[in-house]
Amino acid sequence: MADETRTIDDAFSPPGQSWMRVSPRLARAYRITLGFWALVAVAVAVGLAFVPGLPDAVSAVVLLLALVVIAWIWWLIGRRVRSWGYAERDDDLLVTRGIMFRRLVIVPYGRMQLVDLRAGPIHRWLGIATVQLHTAAATTDASIPGLTPALAADLRDRLARRGEQRSAGL
Amino acid sequence: MSGQEQDPLAFEVVPPGRSGPDEHGRRRVHPWTPFIAGVRWWPGGIIAGVTLAAQLDVQVGQGAILVGLAALVVVTLLGTGFAYLAWTRLTFWFDDDGDLRVDSGVISRNERRLQLSRLQSVDVLQPLVARVAGMAEVRVEVAGAGDSKINLRFLTLREANELRNEIIARSAGVRHDVEEAPENVLVRVPAGDLVVSLLLRAETYALLVLTVVVLAVTIVTEGTAGLVLIVLGGIPVFQVFAQFSRYYDFTVAESPDGLRLRHGLLQRTRQTVPPGRVQAVGFVQPFLWRTRGWVRVRLNVAGVSSRSEGRGDESYSENVLLPVAPWPVALAIVARVLPGVDLGAVPTVPAPERARRRAWIQWRQLAVGWDDEVFITRSGRIVERWDVVPHARTQSVRVTQGPWERALGLASMHVDSTPGVVKVVGLHRDATEARVLAQEQADRAATARAGDRSLRWVAQQHLAGTAPAAPVSAPSGVGDGSPILGSGAAGVADLGAPSSAVDAHPREGPEP
Interface of A with B (CB under 8 A): 4-5, 7-8, 10-13, 15, 91-92, 100-108, 110-111, 113, 135-142, 167-170
Domain around B54: 26-89
Domain around A55: 25-80
Q: Tell me how far apart the alpha carbons of residues B278 and B420 are, in angstroms, rounded to a whole number.
A: 11
- List residues bridging with A46 in a β-sheet: none
Cβ contacts of residue B62 below 8 Å, gap of 6+?
none
For chain A, the domain total comes to: 2
Is A20 domain-assigned?
Answer: no
Alpha helices, DSSP H only, in B248-363?
A: 327-337
**Judgement on whether residues A161 and A116 belong to the same structural domain of the protein:** yes
- The nearest alpha carbon in chain B to A167 belongs to B506
Where would I find the beta strands (DSSP E) of A30-80? none
- Is the dihedral angle over the CA atoms B151, B155, B160, B163 positive or is it negative? negative
* pLDDT of the residue at B227: 63
Domain boundary among A80, A113, A144: A80
Alpha helices, DSSP H only, in B133-190?
A: 157-171
**Contacts with A110 from chain B: Cβ below 8 Å:** 446, 449
**Judgement on whether residues A122 and A63 belong to the same structural domain of the protein:** no
SS3 label, residue B412: strand
SS3 label, residue A144: strand
Alpha helices, DSSP H only, in B42-99?
A: 42-55, 62-89
**Judgement on whether residues A55 and A117 belong to the same structural domain of the protein:** no
The ranges of chain B with pLDDT < 70 are 1-23, 58, 143-148, 173-180, 222-234, 274-276, 303-318, 452-512
Interchain contact, A170 vs B279, CB within 8 Å: yes
Residue with the bigger pLDDT between A11 and B328: it is B328
Is B60 domain-assigned?
Answer: yes
* pLDDT of the residue at B104: 86
- The nearest alpha carbon in chain A to B509 belongs to A113
Is B77 domain-assigned?
Answer: yes
Is the model's pTM score more than 0.80? no
Q: Buried b vs exposed e over A146-158: b needs ≥16 C-beta within 10 Å? A: bbeeebbeebbee
Is B453 domain-assigned?
Answer: no
* pLDDT of the residue at A106: 93
Q: Which of B399, B401, B418 has the CB atom closest to A170's CB atom?
A: B418
A56-111, pLDDT tens digit by residue? 888 889 899 999 999 999 999 999 999 999 999 888 899 999 988 999 999 988 88
A101-114, pLDDT tens digit by residue? 999 999 988 888 88
Is B378 domain-assigned?
Answer: no
**Contacts with B400 from chain A: Cβ below 8 Å:** 101-104
**Judgement on whether residues A113 and A160 belong to the same structural domain of the protein:** yes
A10 pLDDT tier (thresholds 50, 70, 90): low
* pLDDT of the residue at B457: 44
Task: Identify whether the C-beta of residue B48 lies closer than 8 Å to the C-beta of residue B56.
Answer: no
Terminal-residue alpha carbon distance, chain B: 34
Q: Which of A102, A107, A168 has the CB atom closest to B396's CB atom?
A: A107
ipTM of the complex: 0.86
A130 pLDDT tier (thresholds 50, 70, 90): very high
For chain B, the domain total comes to: 1
* pLDDT of the residue at B3: 39
Cβ contacts of residue A116 below 8 Å, gap of 6+?
A130, A131, A132, A133, A134
Is B83 domain-assigned?
Answer: yes
Which bin fits B464, alpha (ψ -120 to 50), beta or left (φ > 0)?
alpha
Domain boundary among A40, A58, A80: A80
Is A7 domain-assigned?
Answer: no
- List residues bridging with B369 in a β-sheet: B348, B376
C-alpha distances out from residue B121 to A112, B69, B479, Å: 22, 40, 25
Q: Tell me how far apart the alpha carbons of residues A109 and B442 are, in angstroms, rounded to a whole number.
A: 11
- The nearest alpha carbon in chain B to A133 belongs to B396
Is B33 domain-assigned?
Answer: yes
Q: Tell me how far apart the alpha carbons of residues B116 and A96 are, in angstroms, rounded to a whole number.
A: 38
* pLDDT of the residue at B461: 45
Interchain contact, B419 vs A138, CB within 8 Å: yes
